[in-house]
Amino acid sequence: MSTVQLFRTGDTPLPNVIILTHKLTREYDMGSELVRALRGVSVQIHKNEYVAVMGPSGSGKSTLMNLIGCLDTPTSGEYWLNGQKVSDLVDDELARIRNKEIGFVFQTFNLLPRADALHNVELPLIYAGLSSRNRRERAAHALERVGLGDRMDHKPNELSGGQRQRVAIARALVNEPSILLADEPTGNLDSTTSSEIMNVFAQLHGQGQTVVMVTHEQDIAAHAARVITLRDGVVATDQARAA
């Protein structure tokens, strides 16, 4: 914010810039018409920022989320994540980036119903190729960080909504990603549980974690230090909040 770099094509981002998008566009060919979901989004997010992305439905926030999460590739423009240009990577390389650099937290938790909390958290480490013992240690540690050290052998249906989301957060953290990417993380939770989850986020942010969160709820966005609002595929507002 204070050190916003004027980025031109061909440049590399400054070292403290975790996320940099430059004129990012994404178009979907729906047969009869071309949907331009993003029409040139340029944002920079620094290390240890806590950013909320807002916007009405159709504003392109989900598309931006998918691009930042490396689940999708842009039609044009550049995307740099943690000093690496990921906008022109291919499928399996993106999978590696998702595994190492990004921790996803979903609205619907997306836990494996048959696996216990520990195994759910272990999942990203399996794809990282860690040994079984190593995985268990790290997964247990991540669960302790979110306050679920005593629920490791519980299956998702034995946990409350808030606990499930905390398992999902532990899973997102277990690979020590550059960014924690949350998509409507409180969308399926009541307000008490929501604030509980927001406390977890605040705590992680306090420990130095970069957090990017997509939400349409004002009071949830209020937990973030910076709010980016999208409208019609472009950035409408981008403002820091008073802490």
Partner 1 sequence: MPFFEAFRLAIQTIRAQKLKSGFSLLGVFIGVASLIGAWSIVNGVNRYMTEKFAQTLYGVNTFQLRRRPMFTPNVPDSVWRAWARRPRIRFSDAEAISAGLTVPVMTAWQSSDNVTVSYRNKEARDIELTAASERYFDIKNLGFAIGRPFTGEENRSGAPVVVLGDAVAQRLFAERAPLGKSVRIGGVPYRVIGVVTKQGSILGFPLDRFVVVPALSPAQNLVNPPGILDAFLVKAHSELEMREAISQAEGIMRGRRHLRPRQDNNFVLETSEGVQQFWAGISRILVVLLPGVVVISLVIGGIVIMNIMLMAVAERTREIGLRKSLGARRRDVLRQFLAESTAIATVGAGFGIVAGIGLTLLIDKISPLPASVAPMSIVLGVIMGAGVGVAAGVYPASRAARLDPITALRQE
List interacting residues with partner 1 (CB under 8 A). 66, 69, 71-72, 91-92, 95-96, 98-100, 104, 106, 110, 112, 114, 123-124, 126-129, 171, 175
Q: How far apart are CA 131 and CA 186, in angstroms?
A: 33
Task: Report the sign of the C-alpha dihedral through residues 144, 203, 186, 86, in that order.
Answer: negative
Query: What's the closest the beta carbon of residue 34 comes to partner 1, in angstroms?
Result: 18
Burial of 232 (0-12, 13-18, 19+ CB in 10 A): middle
**What residues have CB less than 8 Å from 27, skipping those under 6 apart?**
34, 35, 36, 37, 75
- Which CB, 146 or 227, lies closer to partner 1? 146
Rounded to the nearest whole angstrom, what is the least distance from the CB of residue 120 to partner 1 in the complex? 10
Q: Which is nearer to partner 1, 72 or 232 (CB)?
A: 72
Q: How far is the CB of 241 from partner 1 (least distance, A)?
A: 29
Name the E strands within the chain.
Answer: 17-29, 34-46, 50-54, 76-81, 84-85, 102-105, 179-183, 210-214, 226-231, 234-240
Q: Output 188 or 195, the one with its CB closest to partner 1.
A: 188
Other Cβ atoms closer than 10 A to 77:
18
CB of 49 or CB of 183, closer to partner 1: 183
For the bound state, the minimum distance from the C-beta of residue 177 to partner 1, rounded and expressed in Å, comes to 10
Q: Which is nearer to partner 1, 112 or 222 (by Cβ)?
A: 112
CB of 188 to partner 1, least distance (A): 14
The residues that bridge with 161 in the sheet, in sequence order, are none
Say how far apart CA 147 and CA 67 lie, in whole Å.
31
